[in-house]
A and B are shown apart, each in its own frame.
Chain A
Amino acid sequence: MTREELMEVIEAVLEKAEVPDVVATLTEQRDAAVRFGQNRITQNMDTFERKLRITLGDGERESVYSTHRIDIDVVPEILSKAMDMLKTASPDPEYMPPVPAGQVYPIIDAWDSMTAEADPVGRTEAAARAINTAKKNGMEASGLVGMTYENTAIGTSTGNLAHHRSTEAYMRLTLDRGKPSSFRLLSAEAWNDLPVDDAIREVAAEVEADEDQRELEPGEYRLIFEPQAVVDLIPFIAWSMNARHADEGLTVFSGKQGESVTGSNFTMTSEVNGFLKGTPFNGEGLASNDAVWIDGGRLVNQPCTRYWAQQTGREPLFIPGTLAIEGDSGSTGDLVSNVKGRALLFRRFWYIRFVDQKELSLTGMTRDGVFLVEDGKVVHPVEDFRWNWKPLDLFSRIEKLGAPERKGQLSVPPMIIGPTVL
């Protein structure tokens, strides 16, 4: 649907609703991808979904109704069902009206028409190139390559109207030869910006380097995290930052606002429209803003709902779809060559779960490459092992940061963590 067609439905909902408080969102999403494994294509997909979400409120109660039936003619029928939900809801002591008028939405150019309209041949050929490289090297290729787009309009009964659309091209690639394996996540707004062939070549070389794994010898090591390994840890910190959960004593950040939670060389921010492209509004229609969450190790802001912000004298804040960890300069290879003594290099982690939510202690496995490094040189690969770590403790002992890289909607640097007993 065009912007105008989306808005026509939104405006019909706002106009015909019989309650004062309304938020309507109409989203189209297309996801077209090729999945491969065992050097064969296992799925080839082109999915499309259109969904209307209506939040109604009468000043005391609120309810949400969603449907795949999108037609101006059936808006009254949809609203009638949404009203049935509202009438039976209980009064909400935390009721908030829709966001005030005058929201200023950032304009984010995250759309690439060629990517949105791409036919299946390009992505199928990309999968085929990965498979052919794997076959040539006695490996197996698996992963997913494709594109997605979202086209969303939102309106509030307080007078805000906004539209945003975005594309994303992506590739998740694993090559393996039994135990030796490597992995790469690529993403960009435009298909043409994905370095598919470079990634296939690099990952194949990394599998070769992962041959002859040896068991980890217990001892003290510096830890070198590739960007993907950092990415795997960050969501647990982000999830734990919620202001209300912290205030209620549920997370590690309870009572920590304004205090040091990591080392002074760790800064975590969100940007709406920079290197990473976020979303201009959240599900309530609140305008997105850049935010600094941890500044030089100090917790300076926490995501906070409008209700909790009102209760605690904060500004409402949310993560606008991106997270960035500040870095310095140099690649992972540069960090490796500069490390003194004994270290371990990690490509990524797997199956990370909270062990204790309040302590923010995590467990997980290494995956797709761990290497022993001695005085700046990779000595040999190490077998995967289980770890139990506290990420805030790790990020309190960062000795060096490299240059950030994009990994999905995160921008993160490689880093060296100080001596750690394993």
Chain B
Amino acid sequence: MIDKMRDIAEGIVGQLRHRSVDYGDARVENTDLESLTFRKQRLAESDFQAGQGVGIRVLVNRCWGFASCSGFDSDEVEKTVDRAVSVARAGAGVMEGSVSLSEEIPSTGHYDGPCERNPFDIPRSEKLDLLARAADIMHTSPLINMSWSNLKFERKRKAFSNTEGTLVSSDLVFSMPTIMAYAVLGDDMQNRGFQEGARIAGWEWIEQADMIFWAEKCREEAIMKVKAPEGPSGVMDLILDGTHLSLTMHESVGHPTESDRVLGWEASMAGRTFLNIDDQEKLKYGSEIVNFVADNTMPYGLASWGWDDDGVPCQKWYTIKDGIFQQFGSVRETALLVNRKQSTGCCRAMDFASFPINRQPNFYLEPGKKQVTPDDLISEVDKGVYIEGRGSFSIDQRRINFQFGGDMFWEIKNGRKVQPLKKVIYRSKTRDFWGSCDGIADDRSFKTMGLLTCGKGEPMQAARMTHGASTSRFRNIEVGRGAE
């Protein structure tokens, strides 16, 4: 399959070379997606999608044209080449073009993502049995009124070629388990779910994630939550675990450091950023212990694709070093505009039918270098809340003013976790929040969260990436109760 797809990509680029375009590239994709969902103790969805298609991007007089078609039919593909060129020419006829791509060394090669056991080779009966057992465990309590258990597997094979000589391909398998239990008591409902999300990995990730353990944990903690008192309000300290911080980081560090936002290209949709281009290597973003590493070579990371959709190799760099903002994640089109010579390889499209845009890389908060456990961090808190997992989340379009909930909450008093809580939210401003970080546990508490649904762009595209952190402490944050 990959060889055929590489041939199609090369064939398209050959056609583009005869159309007098300044630049052209072709993405050829074949995607198998299997999704099995239990709603309560019943298989509610058994879905398989076999997708394939081609996306073609060209530059004419520094104006983009993009066209796509589903399937690999050669006549359709040729018409799609025509449409891409004609769209670019129409644009060039109306407005002066402005696109300048960074110079990159052409790449050739193939990348296989880590996958020890291909989930498409696992008998479906084994998958359904696992889901059924997880659902049964959640519903052993009558307080669990609803649950979701899901297994999602995607095998994405891609070939990319461009008129500069790049010809690369990849074969990636994404696996994601989901567990969510809903407890209802009186007029209240609280839920608890598995938090680590997806990985580029095979069935081994499903085994490692241990859905049976999580089914029990989610049942017990959903019940604990629905019976728990509401959280306190006021200014206090927060201890946040890696699966919770992953979302806070995503919203308050990942998005503001995207180059297309500082240029205003997302102003109408996802929004801008509070950062300026000349803040690179200067602006204090957080306390001195805060280091964020962007890493599209990270094992199992959902953005570790070998090459991005510009054909640029995946890379690793500091977004924030010793609390200072270092550089934006960029694509070939934005790199020069944010004063960088080369792209960081952050160009990704949702699928063959989407124009590739600047996306967040995988990135993580570097664990503390000293031997510190989450309990050590908690022991130095007089009044606070410990939060695990993701909950409600909202941030303004310039990525300053945010409010987050969580999935599980514990009250901290005099250095100890004393009782579970529910309906806790906290509010802060991005640089105040990261500036208040005074403790990061070592790598023994490091956890990752793989996200498949980061929405951005118009038309909206869902992107995937992985974030990670060790449990960390934040001082003097405004905490509220529910919608107060």
Interface residues of A (CB under 8 A from B): 31-35, 37-38, 40-51, 61-70, 81-82, 85-86, 88-90, 92-94, 119-121, 124-125, 127-128, 131, 140, 142-144, 172-174, 176, 181, 183, 245, 248-250, 350-359, 361-365, 367, 384-386, 388-390
The residues of B that contact A183 with a CB separation of less than 8 Å are 268
The residues of B that contact A174 with a CB separation of less than 8 Å are 267-268
A250 interface neighbour in B44, B67, B184, B353, Cβ under 8 Å: B184
A365 touches B90 (CB 8 A): no
Determine the distance from Cα of A91 to Cα of B205 in the docked complex, in whole angstroms.
27
Determine the distance from Cα of A51 to Cα of B31 in the docked complex, in whole angstroms.
13
A37: min CB distance to chain B, Å: 4
The residues of A that contact B83 with a CB separation of less than 8 Å are 46, 48
Known: A249-B184, A355-B392. A44 touches B423 (CB 8 A): no
B268 touches A143 (CB 8 A): yes
B42 touches A67 (CB 8 A): no
B145 touches A250 (CB 8 A): yes
Determine the distance from Cα of A390 to Cα of B264 in the docked complex, in whole angstroms.
32
A33 touches B459 (CB 8 A): yes
Determine the distance from Cα of A70 to Cα of B53 in the docked complex, in whole angstroms.
12
A45 interface neighbour in B44, B189, B264, B355, Cβ under 8 Å: B355
B458 touches A143 (CB 8 A): yes
Determine the distance from Cα of A388 to Cα of B401 in the docked complex, in whole angstroms.
13
The residues of B that contact A68 with a CB separation of less than 8 Å are 50-53, 70-71
Determine the distance from Cα of A40 to Cα of B98 in the docked complex, in whole angstroms.
7
Known: A120-B87, A143-B458, A355-B405. A248 touches B146 (CB 8 A): yes
Determine the distance from Cα of A50 to Cα of B53 in the docked complex, in whole angstroms.
10
Known: A92-B43, A364-B394, A365-B396. A44 touches B64 (CB 8 A): yes
B264 touches A37 (CB 8 A): yes
A172 touches B128 (CB 8 A): no
The residue on B at minimum CB distance from A119 is: B90
B266 interface neighbour in A37, A67, A82, Cβ under 8 Å: A37
Q: How many residues of B contact A (CB 8 A)?
A: 78
The residues of A that contact B440 with a CB separation of less than 8 Å are none
Main secondary structure of the interface of A (DSSP, over half): strand
Q: For the complex, is B236 an interface residue (Cβ under 8 Å from A)?
A: no
Q: For the complex, is B269 an interface residue (Cβ under 8 Å from A)?
A: yes
Docked complex: B421-463 residues within 8 A CB-CB of A: 423, 425, 427, 458-459
B268 touches A142 (CB 8 A): yes
The residue on B at minimum CB distance from A45 is: B66
Q: For the complex, is B395 an interface residue (Cβ under 8 Å from A)?
A: yes
Q: For the complex, is B482 an interface residue (Cβ under 8 Å from A)?
A: yes
Known: A42-B265, A176-B267, A388-B484. A81 touches B48 (CB 8 A): yes
Determine the distance from Cα of A405 to Cα of B124 in the docked complex, in whole angstroms.
49
Q: For the complex, is B95 an interface residue (Cβ under 8 Å from A)?
A: yes
The residue on A at minimum CB distance from B187 is: A358
Given contacts A93-B42, A384-B396, 19 further A-B contacts (CB under 8 A): A37-B266, A37-B267, A38-B265, A44-B64, A46-B83, A65-B48, A67-B51, A68-B71, A69-B71, A88-B46, A89-B128, A92-B44, A120-B87, A128-B95, A142-B265, A353-B393, A355-B392, A357-B189, A363-B392
The residues of A that contact B263 with a CB separation of less than 8 Å are 37-38
Write 17 A-B pairs (CB below 8 A) sorted by A numbering.
A33-B459, A45-B68, A48-B353, A67-B51, A68-B51, A69-B52, A81-B50, A85-B46, A89-B46, A124-B94, A140-B267, A250-B146, A350-B396, A353-B393, A355-B392, A363-B392, A386-B401
The residues of B that contact A173 with a CB separation of less than 8 Å are 268
Determine the distance from Cα of A64 to Cα of B482 in the docked complex, in whole angstroms.
39
Q: For the complex, is B188 an interface residue (Cβ under 8 Å from A)?
A: yes
A88: min CB distance to chain B, Å: 4
Determine the distance from Cα of A67 to Cα of B71 in the docked complex, in whole angstroms.
9
Q: For the complex, is B1 an interface residue (Cβ under 8 Å from A)?
A: no
A38 interface neighbour in B123, B145, B264, Cβ under 8 Å: B264
Determine the distance from Cα of A290 to Cα of B395 in the docked complex, in whole angstroms.
37
Interface centre among A47, A94, A350 (most CB of B within 10 A): A47
The residue on B at minimum CB distance from A173 is: B268
Determine the distance from Cα of A85 to Cα of B266 in the docked complex, in whole angstroms.
41
The residue on A at minimum CB distance from B96 is: A40
Determine the distance from Cα of A81 to Cα of B48 in the docked complex, in whole angstroms.
9
Determine the distance from Cα of A236 to Cα of B405 in the docked complex, in whole angstroms.
18
B21: min CB distance to chain A, Å: 13
Determine the distance from Cα of A353 to Cα of B403 in the docked complex, in whole angstroms.
10
A44 touches B125 (CB 8 A): no
The residues of A that contact B84 with a CB separation of less than 8 Å are 46
The residues of B that contact A94 with a CB separation of less than 8 Å are 42, 44
The residue on A at minimum CB distance from B35 is: A64
Determine the distance from Cα of A89 to Cα of B90 in the docked complex, in whole angstroms.
50
The residues of A that contact B67 with a CB separation of less than 8 Å are 45-48
Q: Mark B388-403, 1 if CB is under 8 A from A, else 0.
A: 0000111111000101
Known: A43-B355, A390-B483. A88 touches B64 (CB 8 A): no
A311: min CB distance to chain B, Å: 13
The residues of B that contact A43 with a CB separation of less than 8 Å are 64, 66, 355, 357
